[in-house]
């Protein structure tokens, strides 16, 4: 039976799920935390607002209280004597903002905690309980429902994708392979790419054709964005992952390509096998990993370089939480050898402020734009004309932030930038 999105409040169920989230990691993290508060300085929602409630470890206070009451000596004693307050439904209502609006699961706090606590992991776990209790943002509930029922959080249908693909075929003169049995690679998309940045699809088609990649899209599963991960519902996340896995295994592909979307990569590459409780029969590569491999093999060749001053924004889930650190830099150097790195970059980059479902959460819009001031300052320090990134969500959040603050910096995707400089295949170039 297909899982459903919890929209009615069910506090008891939330507590039950919260209790079930306490594993070895969580127990060690709470045992080690000395409330030093350093994580606050790593979180853009705190640094840009000064609001102490947005201190990352404070965001998991409901989970800590439950752990303390049920897993510690003083907690059990205090609870037995009626001296330690229980986790209440009011706590869930109050902490919804800290659990969703003010956290993109970017994991920067997890990189600085002196005792090594992975606070992003803790917040992700707490989201399981909040989603189960129905204390999740309406925008995210809607996106998740559309993902389950229509197949895309933005309501994108197969027909709409096929129409977009028709345009791409017309534009490029190339055939876009669909449901090609036995292809090496099955490419995924995020609906934001299809709706807002269809040039990504065109770039893929042109690069793969030039590099001689055997690939296909699947009509059964083209959407990579996983709203189940963002809202924090593992059953829904597993359902969305299993659609991709079934389609890929039916086509018999060797690899699935995660698109330029951070959480999609986390979902299909790192969380997926654990969600469906088995390894895949294929490998998952991020599009940047594949492009970097094609570069190394001499199959991706570019010509010319960018003359504008550019920088690269690291999508948190691809770089810090995903481990794709060097490929974007190798690829950037192909077309922008003198691109400027931000002060904090790579695994310590600052988030755009809209990941982890925050951009789908209308209630968080004002806060997200405040948090964007961190990215704004990073860009002002560099005085760049253009920003390149590798995540459709980062891209749209940054574009909105730049527009909000009246900054004249254009934003582009890395795959698109490479396609712009794509050199013709050797045979074609030599043959004129």
Partner 1 sequence: MFLEFVEGPLWYFSAVVFVVGVLWRLVDIWRQPSRTDLAVPRGSGVPGALRTIVTRSWTAKGFSRGATFHLVAGYMFHIGLFVLLIFAAPHVKFIEERILGFGWTPAPHWLFMVASDLAFAGILLLWLRRLMHPVMRKISTFDDHAAAILTFVVMLTGCLALLKSHDSLRAIHMLTVCLLMVYFPFSRLMHAFTFPVSRAYTGAAMGRKGVSA
52 contacts partner 1 (rule: CB under 8 A): yes
Give me the helices (H) in 87-157, please: 89-96, 119-132, 138-149
24 contacts partner 1 (rule: CB under 8 A): yes
- Choose, by CB under 8 A, the member of 13, 254, 270, 407 that binds partner 1: 270
242 contacts partner 1 (rule: CB under 8 A): no
- Give the binding-site size for partner 1 (rule: CB under 8 A): 60
277 contacts partner 1 (rule: CB under 8 A): yes
Give the nearer residue to partner 1 in terms of CB position, either 61 or 363. Answer: 61
Which helix (H) or strand (E) is 400 found in, with range? helix 392-404
**Token pair listed for 204:** 């893929």
Give the nearer residue to partner 1 in terms of CB position, either 38 or 160. Answer: 38
Stretch that binds partner 1, among 113-121, 163-171, 226-234, 365-373 (CB under 8 A): 113-121
281 contacts partner 1 (rule: CB under 8 A): no
Query: What's 88's DSSP letter?
Result: -
- Choose, by CB under 8 A, the member of 48, 91, 97, 118 that binds partner 1: 118
Between residue 305 and residue 324, which ones bind partner 1 under the rule CB under 8 A? 320-323
42 contacts partner 1 (rule: CB under 8 A): yes
Inter-residue contact 126 to 99 (CB < 8 Å): yes
What contacts 145, CB < 8 A, 6 or more positions away?
5
Q: CA 427, CA 432: separation in Å to the nearest integer? A: 9
State the minimum distance, in angstroms, from the CB of residue 99 to partner 1. 16
**Burial grade of 122 (CB within 10 A; 0-12, 13-18, 19 or more):** buried
**Token pair listed for 272:** 């997926």
- Choose, by CB under 8 A, the member of 18, 63, 105, 113 that binds partner 1: 113
Inter-residue contact 340 to 384 (CB < 8 Å): yes
Stretch that binds partner 1, among 18-26, 157-165, 253-261, 331-339 (CB under 8 A): 18-26
Give the nearer residue to partner 1 in terms of CB position, either 201 or 351. Answer: 351
Reported in sequence order, the residue ranges of 37-113 that DSSP labels E, i.e. its strands, are none
Query: What's 282's DSSP letter?
Result: S
114 contacts partner 1 (rule: CB under 8 A): yes
- Choose, by CB under 8 A, the member of 12, 343, 404, 424 that binds partner 1: 343
116 contacts partner 1 (rule: CB under 8 A): yes
Instruction: Give the residue from 215, 213, 199 showing the smallest Cα distance to 294.
Output: 213
271 contacts partner 1 (rule: CB under 8 A): yes
377 contacts partner 1 (rule: CB under 8 A): no
Give the nearer residue to partner 1 in terms of CB position, either 205 or 316. Answer: 316
Q: CA 317, CA 390: separation in Å to the nearest integer? A: 10
Give the nearer residue to partner 1 in terms of CB position, either 34 or 81. Answer: 34
Give the nearer residue to partner 1 in terms of CB position, either 110 or 216. Answer: 110
Q: CA 319, CA 362: separation in Å to the nearest integer? A: 26
A 10 A CB-CB count for 193 gives 29
117 contacts partner 1 (rule: CB under 8 A): yes
407 contacts partner 1 (rule: CB under 8 A): no
35 contacts partner 1 (rule: CB under 8 A): yes
Q: CA 325, CA 322: separation in Å to the nearest integer? A: 8
Give me the helices (H) in 233-364, please: 234-251, 262-265, 272-276, 287-296, 326-335
Residues that bind partner 1 (CB under 8 A): 22-29, 31-38, 40-42, 46-47, 50, 52-53, 55, 57-58, 71-74, 110-118, 121, 269-274, 277-279, 283, 320-323, 325, 343-344, 347-348
């Amino acid at each position: 039976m297909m899982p459903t999105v919890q929209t009615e409040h069910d506090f008891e169920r939330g507590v039950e799920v919260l209790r079930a989230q306490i594993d070895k990691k969580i127990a060690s993290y709470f045992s080690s935390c000395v409330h030093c508060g350093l994580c606050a300085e790593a979180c853009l929602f705190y640094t840009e607002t000064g609001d102490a409630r947005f201190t990352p470890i404070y965001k998991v206070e409901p989970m800590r209280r439950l752990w303390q009451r049920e897993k510690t000596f003083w907690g059990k004693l205090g609870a037995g004597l009626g001296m330690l307050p229980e986790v209440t439904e009011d706590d869930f209502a109050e902490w919804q903002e800290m659990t969703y609006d003010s956290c993109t699961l970017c994991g920067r706090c997890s990189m600085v905690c002196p005792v090594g606590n992975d606070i992003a992991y803790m917040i992700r776990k707490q989201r399981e309980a909040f989603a189960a209790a129905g204390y999740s943002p309406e925008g995210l509930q809607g996106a998740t429902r559309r993902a389950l029922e229509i197949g895309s959080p933005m309501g994108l249908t197969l027909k709409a994708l096929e129409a977009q693909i028709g345009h791409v075929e017309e534009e490029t003169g190339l055939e876009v392979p669909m449901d090609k049995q036995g292809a090496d690679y099955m490419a995924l998309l995020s609906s934001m790419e299809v709706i807002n940045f269809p040039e990504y699809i065109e770039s893929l088609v042109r690069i793969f054709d030039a590099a001689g990649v055997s690939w296909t899209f699947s009509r059964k599963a083209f959407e990579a964005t996983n709203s189940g991960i963002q809202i924090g519902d593992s059953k829904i996340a597993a359902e969305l992952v299993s659609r991709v896995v079934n389609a890929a295994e039916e086509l018999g592909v060797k690899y699935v390509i995660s698109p330029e979307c951070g959480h999609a990569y986390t979902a299909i590459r790192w969380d997926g096998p654990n969600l469906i409780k088995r390894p895949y029969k294929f490998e998952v590569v991020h599009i940047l990993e594949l492009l970097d491999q094609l570069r190394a093999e001499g199959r991706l060749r570019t010509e010319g370089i960018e003359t504008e001053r550019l920088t690269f924004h690291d999508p948190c889930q691809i770089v810090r939480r995903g481990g794709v650190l060097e490929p974007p830099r190798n690829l950037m150097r192909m077309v922008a050898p003198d691109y400027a790195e931000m002060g904090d970059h790579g695994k310590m980059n600052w988030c755009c402020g809209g990941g982890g479902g925050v951009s789908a959460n209308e209630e968080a819009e004002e806060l997200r734009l405040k948090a964007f001031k961190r990215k704004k300052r990073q860009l002002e320090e560099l005085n760049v004309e253009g920003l390149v990134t590798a995540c459709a969500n980062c891209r749209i959040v940054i574009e909105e932030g730049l527009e909000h603050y009246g900054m004249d910096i254009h934003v582009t995707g890395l795959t698109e930038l490479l396609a712009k400089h794509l050199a013709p295949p050797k045979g074609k170039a030599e043959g004129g």
